[in-house]
Structure formats: C-alpha cells, structure tokens
Structure 1
Amino acid sequence: MTTDSSLRSGPGTTGRRSSSRHGGDGGADHRLPGREHLPARQPVATAAAVPVLDVVVPVYNEEKDLRPCVVRLHGHLARTFPYPFRITVADNASTDATPAVAAALAAELPGVRYARLEEKGRGRALRTVWSASDAPVLAYMDVDLSTDLNALLPLVAPLISGHSDLAIGSRLDRSSRVVRGPKREFVSRAYNLILRSSLAAGFSDAQCGFKAIRREVAERLLPMVEDSGWFFDTELLVLAERAGLRIHEVPVDWIDDPESSVHIVRTATEDLKGVWRVGRALAVGALPLDRLARPFGDDPRDRAVTGVERGLARQLVGFCVVGALSTLFYLALYSLFRLGVGPQLANGGALLLSAVANTAANRRLTFGVRGRSGAVRHQAQGLVVFAIGLALTSGSLAALGAASGSASHGTELAVLITANLAATVLRFLLLRAWVFPARACPEPEDVR
C-alpha cells in the first residue's frame, strides 16, 4: 500500500503528531491509561490549537458530492462544536477529480486536510488517518451525510468527558428516525441479527457510517483488526466489546442515499467471511484481548471491598444457567443410554459426558477463563468433582434399589434430580474455591 505520508493540511491545522503519549513506552505495558476529561477550548488562535476532534470522510470517486459534504460539515462544526476540530478527507485511490476537489477544500477551509491512498478500502483509509492523527478523539462519517449532523456532538461528548471508549450511531434504536428502502432495511437488520447470534454482539448497529473512538483506544485496537474494507468497523466493535471497553450508542436520524455506490451483495459476502474469521479466532482464543482487559485501572470491580465476595452474584447466575442446561443434557443422555444398559452404566456415562461439557461451559461463561492455558488441568479437576457427583447419584440409585427392589423409570429420575441438586451446590463451591479460584487483584499501576 502506498500512502501520502505528509497529510496535506489547510490553514489552521497541524500535520505533526503530538510527541506526548499516555501509557509509558507502549511496549511492556499494554494497559490503556485512565480516561480523562479533555480540556475546554483555550483562548488561543485556531492555528496554534491541536484539534480535539478529527473527523475522517473516506471517499472514492466522489467529485460531485465531496465539496457540498465538507462545506456543510465544516459549517456545522464551526457553529456548534465547542472545541478545535479537523476534517480529513481520505481519498481511496480515486480516478476522477476527487483529489483536486479535496486539495482545493484543504486550501480554502481552515481545519480541512486530505490524505491520498493508492489502494481502496474504507478500513484501510481509517486505519491510515487515525494512526497518524494527533487529535484525542477520532471519528468518521460517510460522504453522503445520510446521518443528521445534530447527532455528532452527542456522539463524541462521552469520549471527550472520558465516560466511554467508542461511540456509534444507531439506525436501529427505537427512537431513531430512518428513511430507506425495504431491501436495505432487511439486509441491515439481518446482518445485525447474525452478529448477535454468532458473535454475541451487544451493540445494535454495526454498519452505520457514523462512529468515534478515543485515540489511545485506537492505538491498542487497530493492530488487532485485520480487515481493510467494509467489515473493518464491525471487527473493531466486536474486539472492543469482548475486551470490556465501553461503547456508547446514539440514536440517529438517517436518510438513505439512493445513489449510493455500495454493492450490497458483495459487501454482505465479505462481511459474512469476516464474521466467520473473527468468530473462529474468538472460539480458539487466538486474539490477545487480555491486552485490553481491565484497561484503565478505574474499574470499580477491581477495587478491594472488604466483606463482599468478587463477582458472586454474576457467577451464581451463570452457574445456574449452565447447570440447568447441563441437567437437561444429562437427563437426555441417561434416558438414551438406559435403552441399552443398566441404570448404573447409564448414569455413569451420562454424568461423564455432561460433566466435561459443564466444566468447559462454566470455565468460559461463569468464571470468565479464556484461552487454552490451564484447560487440561481444569478438566482434570472437573473430573474429580464429577467423581463426587457420581458417588452421590450412584449412591442414591443404590439406596433406591435396596429400598424398593425394581423402581419405575420416573422414580429413578426423581431420585437422580434430587441427588443432582445436592451435587450441584457442592459442585459450585468446589469450582469456585478450587478449580477456578479468584485471583488476587494487584493494585493498578499509575501509567500516566
């Protein structure tokens, strides 16, 4: 990829990156610094001010729409935004007059500059410009300005205040007002449904071209994002959410551009490939999300509070859900095995298989242990807990046989359920105290 390393700037901007960086040398310490409220506009000339916000407008062959877009965006920011700002036009290898239009805008409007890339890709453009920007808050929007600009300040305000790490506009919020055709509506909702079901995404609208991120967060996330096209921002959001970063959503008013050059089928195909790639990487623990876990050192869950066990309520809920599903799985296996073998063999086989699945599910969902490290040891310890459960349930079956001789299948199930309830309580205590004990949480280091 070839880029113009010297981003062309209009009057009133600076093309140099700030030499100061939070978080030490950026090598050994992968934690993000504490969120800070950015200072208000200082009474200095715009030419000397480092912009607080850098809005990137990625374009490809947009000679017709580029000027009206930038003029309107610049006017809106000049009227309503209380901080210094910059608008960066990121030209994705346009072959028409887009570079000339962008250069003219950079020369004409203060706070406007452009970057020229010799390869296409929205993600590539955002990565290039965001990586070179000195603004503490980075944003982007589509050149058609389908999103109403009144949502821009609400979008970036939580990032400026330090409350959130990323912010996205949502067309699928109940209070959003959206005008677009049924085909795009269906594709958008279907895509976000796929994200929720396959990647457990909690955000509502992945592909709205209206997003913002704090620079120090981008510095840690961008190296982890592989895609350089339309899936770029979805991958960014999924990784941010899995790393525990805070994503702020803003309902937007949005009007579809009927002349949009986006190829829906090709874009959807690439997005589905990206979903598969990211889902597989998350499943095998191939992503270094631990670099961003507990990133700021200001998480109240990291504070030592006497008399309160850490995460007990959440672990109980997760354990109960996993336990209920495991019990149903166990009973189904027992009923299946009982068709061919005696009750003791059926119970042992069903309990063994359900115990392996239960340990794996509790490891990930209840106690938040990810990656392959220690997985074999955890399963071995889980089998010890299984042996205790086997003793309880087998003993119950033996006692039932001694008391009634030949009990009905329904009676066997009732006894097993009662025994499993007792084994479940013991299982939770052993898993929490022995298999997945809470690690001592060190005091957060001062990385400022």
Structure 2
Amino acid sequence: MKLSIVVPAYNEEARLAQMLGVYLPYFGERYGEDFEIIVSVNGSVDRTEEIARGFRERHGQLRVIVDPGPIGKGGAIMAGARVARGEKIGFVDADGSTPPEAFDELVRNIGDAGVIIASRWLPGARVSPRQPWKRRAASRVFNGLVRVLFKLRITDTQCGAKLMTAEAWRAIVPHIGLTRWAFDVDMLFQTRRAHYRIVEIPTTWRDVAGSKIRIVRVSAQMFLAIVRLRMLYSRLRWVVALYDRLLGRVIELPSEMR
C-alpha cells in the first residue's frame, strides 16, 4: 500500500464528516485501493466515533480505532500509525483545515526526504481567513523558541499536515516521549537526530470554525512542554523528575510519566 493518512479525532462531531467527505473521494479517485485513512478517536465523549464508523460502512479504505482515554493528539497519531500499512504515513487534522489537494502535494514532493511538512509561513502559502493576531503572535514566538532551543530551522512545526516514510517513522517512534503539546517538536527533533532529511513546502490552509483551544492557556502549556523536552535531551535531564512533579498536571503529562 502506498499511503496511510492518520486523522487524530477528539470531540470532532461537528467537523469530521465534512473532512472525510472530501478526503475519501479525492484520494479514492487518485490512489484507488492503494491508500487508507485511519481515524484515531481518542477520549471523545460526543458522536465522533459514531460518525467515523458510519463512513467506514460505506468506504472500505477507511479504518477506525478508538482509545477511550485522553491520550492527546500525539498519542492518537502514534496509535493510528502503529496499525498503518502504507509505505508513506501521513497525519492531518480532523477539522479539514488542510484540503486534500494540499495534503497530496506532500505525497508528490517528499522525494528522498524522510519527512515533509506543510508550512503556513513559507512564501507562497495561502492562509484564509487571516488568523487573529494573538494566534499569529503565539505561533511566531513558539517557533522562535523551538529554533533557539532545538536548532530546528523549520518555519511551522505545528501545522497539522505532515508525511514521512514508514522507515523513518519506525526509526524515530521508540524515542518520542511526549504525546500532547510538544509532540510535533519531539517528532521532528528525533527525525533530525536519526539523520533523516526534513523538507518544508508552502501549503493551503483554512481556519475552520469550532476549535476548542484556549490560546492563552495552550500557549503556556506548549511553552512549559518544550522547556521540559529540551531539558530531557540535555545535561539537565536529572531535573525533569522534579519538573514533572511540579508541573506535570499543567502541561497534561500522562499520569505514568509524572
């Protein structure tokens, strides 16, 4: 199988159907049976699972896995990728902010890279409507911190559309330690440590209404999470246990990691 697309879904009853309604026919027309979409439902208390299973009855290329616990976006991606059968494994948000044509650009441009990611900040990217200034500012500050702390010369670590080879995924997944706010940074950092090439391309991205993210709270959580991650991969890793006891609940670490 050529392509697996993992869709992490947490309480997405309002947006998942529209996203699957465009992704399934688009990739079905272009890849036939040589692709699969895996909806990875995590901790949802709404009709997300029911909606996904309804699509599954009509589309053989759709698979649904469910974890009742709040394992976070990264945890849902890892669970979906664990059962993926494609030579390339991609991830995309359930809200449909990345249209299928834009995701397909990742597939067509990965070349010999280990990972290719969509960027909303490279020249040529099209973002509509323009995001509120608070989100833009938070994104730029976060990305600046990532560049300083991890030396990752990437313009947009947090865009939900990413694609990698199955080989690269298998090499880095045992080393990924965070499944929530710092997951993307951890994944890209591990990719670089494993000496796989990372490529960025400008993308088309639509701001879809219905986000449950509280920007101030999430910004603080993401900041604390990347500081923890940087300490984990430094000589200060001995401080992490204390850090987790003090701030584990704030950055929503899994209980087994506190």
Correspondence for 2:37 among 68, 82, 87:
87
Correspondence for 2:3 among 53, 58, 61:
53
Report SS of the residue matched to 1:283: coil
Q: Paired residue for 1:129?
A: 80
Work out whether 1:228 is the aligned partner of 2:179: yes
Correspondence for 2:107 among 144, 156, 178:
156
CA shift, 1:82, in A, is 7.0
Distance in 2, Cα, partners of 1:64 & 1:119: 20
Gap change, CA 1:285 and 1:130, over 3 Å in 2 = farther
Correspondence for 1:237 among 188, 193, 200:
188
Structural mapping, 1:242-257, within 5 Å: 242-257=193-208
Contact map agreement 1:137 1:214 (CA 8 A) in 2: yes
Correspondence for 2:63 among 101, 107, 113:
113
Contact map agreement 1:61 1:97 (CA 8 A) in 2: yes
RMSD: 1.9
Where in structure 1 are there 5+ consecutive unaligned residues? 1-50, 287-448
- Greater strand fraction, Structure 1 or Structure 2: 2
Q: Paired residue for 1:344?
A: none
Work out whether 1:216 is the aligned partner of 2:167: yes
Q: Paired residue for 2:226?
A: 275
Contact map agreement 2:12 2:95 (CA 8 A) in 1: no
Structural mapping, 1:37-436, within 5 Å: 51-81=1-31, 84-120=34-70, 121-159=72-110, 161=111, 163-178=112-127, 179-284=130-235
Contact map agreement 1:81 1:153 (CA 8 A) in 2: no
Tell me the alpha carbon deviations over residues 217-256 of structure 1, each in whole angstroms, 9 at most, x when there is no partner: 1112111111111321111012212332101112011121
- Greater helix fraction, Structure 1 or Structure 2: 1
CA shift, 1:158, in A, is 4.3
CA shift, 1:194, in A, is 0.9
Distance in 2, Cα, partners of 1:166 & 1:234: 13
Contact map agreement 2:125 2:204 (CA 8 A) in 1: yes
What is the count of residue pairs matched by the alignment? 234
CA shift, 1:117, in A, is 0.6
TM-score of the superposed pair, with normalisation by structure 1: 0.50
Distance in 2, Cα, partners of 1:153 & 1:94: 28
CA shift, 1:269, in A, is 2.3
Tell me the alpha carbon deviations over residues 370-398 of structure 1, each in whole angstroms, 9 at most, x when there is no partner: xxxxxxxxxxxxxxxxxxxxxxxxxxxxx
Report SS of the residue matched to 2:233: helix
Q: Return the letter of the residue paired with 2:125.
A: S
Q: Which is greater in Rg?
A: 1
Which structure ranks higher in relative contact order (CA pairs < 8 Å, sequence separation ≥ 6)? Answer: 2
Contact map agreement 2:18 2:96 (CA 8 A) in 1: no
Where in structure 2 are there 5+ consecutive unaligned residues? 238-258
